[in-house]
C-alpha cells in the first residue's frame, strides 16, 4: 500500500486544512461554549462540496470516495470535532444509506440536496433500551394497506444532525414483522422532517461535541408512504451493519485528527511556554510525552488509511475498520489527556483548544460501536467464536 496521498487528495487536504484554521478555528470556541450549531460554517462546507465527497457527480457529488472523506475529516478534527462529526454523520449516516440502498427515485429526490449541504440527513438507530444491542429494536412500523402507508411508533436517542433547522430527513430502523423463529424483521424507512407525529426533543446537554446537534426522537403514529421503505423489506439490520462498518473508517479518521490536533497544540505551547528560564519543550519529560503522542497519531493514520484503501478497493475491511476505530479512539483519549497535562493549568481552561479536545475525545470510544464491540468484532474475524 502506498501511503502517500495522490496530488488530488493532497490538494483536498491542504484546502480543508486552510479552511479549518482560517474559518473554523477562530469561531468554533464561541459556538461550542454557547452549545450552538454553526450554520454558516456548515453552509461553507456545503459550498466546498465536502458533503458530496464520496458520491457520484450525477447526484450532485464530487465523484470521490471514502478515502477522500477521511482526509477531510482528519483535517477538520485537528481543529474541532463538532464540525467534523457534523460532516461525518451527514455523509456516513445521513446520505450514504440512500446512496447504497435507495431506489433511483429516492436518490434523485434526496441526494443532490444532501450533497450540497442544503439539507442534512440523520440515521435513527439507537434506542433508550438498545445501545450496543442494536438488534433489540422496539420501534415498530406496520403497513396500513388501506392507505399504503407505514405507521411508525417508537423512540430513538443520541441521533446526530436530527434537529437542526436544515435537517431534511431521518432514516429510522423499525420492526416490520417477525421471522418464523420469532426474531424481529427490521427494515429502514425514510421519515422526512416535519412529518406529523414525528417529534424532535430539545438538544441534549452533553460533555463534548457541544457545537453539534444531538437529540432524542419520538414517533407517534407517524405516517409515511410505503415507497419510503429504504432497500428490501426486512434487510434493515444488514443495512445498518454495512453502514456502521463504513462509518467506523470515518470515525477512525476523525479520531486521528483529534489525536494529531493534540500534538499540534502541545508542540506550539511547549515552544512558547517558559518555566525556570527556558521553554518547557526543552525538558526531556515534555519531549518524550509529545513524541509518544506523535507516534500514536501517526500509527492511527496508517490504520484508518489501510481500512479506507481496502473499502475503496472492494476488499474485505471489517476487521481493519474495527482495528482502526478502536485504536484511533483510544489514542485520541490518550493524547487529549496528555495534551492537557502538557498545558498544565491552562489545559483546564476552556479558552484553550485542548480543553475542548479533552471533552470531545471520550465519546469516540462509545459512538458507532463501543471499544468493547470493536474487540468482539476483531476476535470474531480472527475465528474466535463464543
Burial annotation 247-282 (CB, 10 A radius, 16+ → b, else e): bbbbbbbbbbbbbbbbbbbbbebbeeeeeeeeebbe
Quick one: pLDDT band at residue 298, thresholds 50, 70, 90? Answer: very high
pLDDT at residue 385 in the model:
84
Could you tell me the three cell numbers for 256? Answer: 486521528
Rounded CA-CA distance 339/273 in Å is 14
pLDDT at residue 182 in the model:
85
Quick one: pLDDT band at residue 295, thresholds 50, 70, 90? Answer: very high
User: 46 with 223: CB under 8 angstroms?
Assistant: no
pLDDT at residue 1 in the model:
59
Quick one: pLDDT band at residue 26, thresholds 50, 70, 90? Answer: very high
pLDDT digits (tens, 9 = 90+) for 47-81: 999 999 999 999 999 999 999 999 999 999 999 99
Q: How far is CA 88 from CA 42, 107, 154, 269, 325, in A?
A: 12, 19, 25, 29, 14
Known catalytic residue at 368: yes
Rg (C-alpha) for the chain, rounded Å, is 21
Could you tell me the three cell numbers for 311? Answer: 473499502
Q: What is the mean pLDDT of residues 16-36?
A: 97
pLDDT digits (tens, 9 = 90+) for 186-224: 999 999 999 999 999 999 999 999 999 999 999 999 999
Quick one: pLDDT band at residue 132, thresholds 50, 70, 90? Answer: low
pLDDT digits (tens, 9 = 90+) for 78-113: 999 999 999 999 999 999 999 999 999 999 999 999
Rounded CA-CA distance 173/186 in Å is 6
How much helix, strand and coil, in percent to the nearest 5, is found in the chain?
Answer: 55, 15, 25
Out of 109, 368, 372, 381, pick the active-site residue: 368
Strands 167-178 and 120-124, sheet pairing: parallel
pLDDT of residue 386 exceeding 80? no
Helix (H) or strand (E) holding 73: helix 66-77
CA geometry: angle at 275 spanning 270 and 278, to 5°?
75
DSSP 102: -
In the chain the domains, ranked by start, together with CATH numbers, are 7-120 (1.10.540.10), 122-234 (2.40.110.10), 238-381 (1.20.140.10)
Q: How many residues are given for the chain?
A: 386
Whose cell is 421503505? That residue is 229
Q: 150, 91, 158: which is closest to 127 by C-alpha?
A: 158
pLDDT of residue 2 exceeding 70? no
Amino acid at each position: 500500500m502506498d501511503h502517500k496521498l495522490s496530488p488530488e487528495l493532497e490538494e483536498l487536504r491542504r484546502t480543508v486544512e486552510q479552511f479549518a484554521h482560517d474559518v473554523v478555528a477562530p469561531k468554533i470556541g464561541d459556538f461550542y461554549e454557547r452549545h450552538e450549531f454553526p450554520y454558516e460554517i456548515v453552509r461553507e462546507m456545503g459550498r466546498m462540496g465536502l458533503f458530496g465527497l464520496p458520491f457520484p457527480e450525477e447526484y450532485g457529488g464530487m465523484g470521490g470516495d471514502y478515502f477522500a472523506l477521511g482526509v477531510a475529516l482528519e483535517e477538520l478534527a485537528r481543529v474541532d470535532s463538532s464540525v467534523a462529526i457534523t460532516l461525518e454523520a451527514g455523509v456516513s449516516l445521513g446520505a450514504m444509506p440512500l446512496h447504497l440502498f435507495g431506489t433511483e427515485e429516492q436518490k434523485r429526490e434526496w441526494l443532490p440536496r444532501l450533497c450540497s449541504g442544503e439539507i442534512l440527513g440523520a440515521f435513527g438507530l439507537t434506542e433508550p433500551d438498545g445501545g450496543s444491542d442494536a438488534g433489540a429494536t422496539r420501534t415498530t412500523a406496520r403497513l396500513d394497506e388501506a392507505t399504503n402507508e407505514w405507521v411508525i411508533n417508537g423512540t430513538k436517542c443520541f441521533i446526530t444532525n436530527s434537529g437542526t433547522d436544515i435537517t431534511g430527513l431521518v432514516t429510522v430502523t423499525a420492526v416490520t414483522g417477525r421471522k418464523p423463529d420469532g426474531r424481529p424483521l427490521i427494515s429502514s424507512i425514510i421519515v422526512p422532517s416535519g412529518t406529523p407525529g414525528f417529534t424532535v426533543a430539545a438538544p441534549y446537554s452533553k460533555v463534548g461535541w457541544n457545537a453539534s446537534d444531538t437529540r432524542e426522537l419520538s414517533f407517534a403514529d407517524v405516517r409515511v408512504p410505503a415507497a419510503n421503505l429504504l432497500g428490501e423489506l426486512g434487510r434493515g439490520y444488514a443495512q445498518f451493519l454495512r453502514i456502521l462498518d463504513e462509518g467506523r473508517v470515518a470515525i477512525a479518521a476523525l479520531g486521528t485528527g483529534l489525536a494529531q490536533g493534540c500534538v499540534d497544540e502541545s508542540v506550539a505551547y511547549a515552544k512558547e511556554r517558559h518555566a525556570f528560564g527556558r521553554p518547557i519543550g526543552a525538558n526531556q519529560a515534555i519531549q518524550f510525552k509529545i513524541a509518544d503522542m506523535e507516534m500514536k497519531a501517526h500509527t492511527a493514520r496508517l490504520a484508518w488509511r489501510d481500512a479506507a484503501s481496502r473499502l475503496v478497493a472492494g476488499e474485505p475491511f471489517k476487521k481493519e475498520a474495527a482495528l482502526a476505530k478502536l485504536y484511533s479512539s483510544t489514542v485520541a483519549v490518550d493524547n487529549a489527556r496528555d495534551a492537557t497535562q502538557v498545558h498544565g493549568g491552562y489545559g483546564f481552561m476552556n479558552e484553550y483548544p485542548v480543553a475542548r479536545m479533552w471533552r470531545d475525545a471520550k465519546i469516540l470510544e462509545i459512538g458507532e460501536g463501543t471499544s468493547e464491540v470493536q474487540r468482539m468484532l476483531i476476535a470474531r474475524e480472527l475465528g474466535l467464536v463464543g
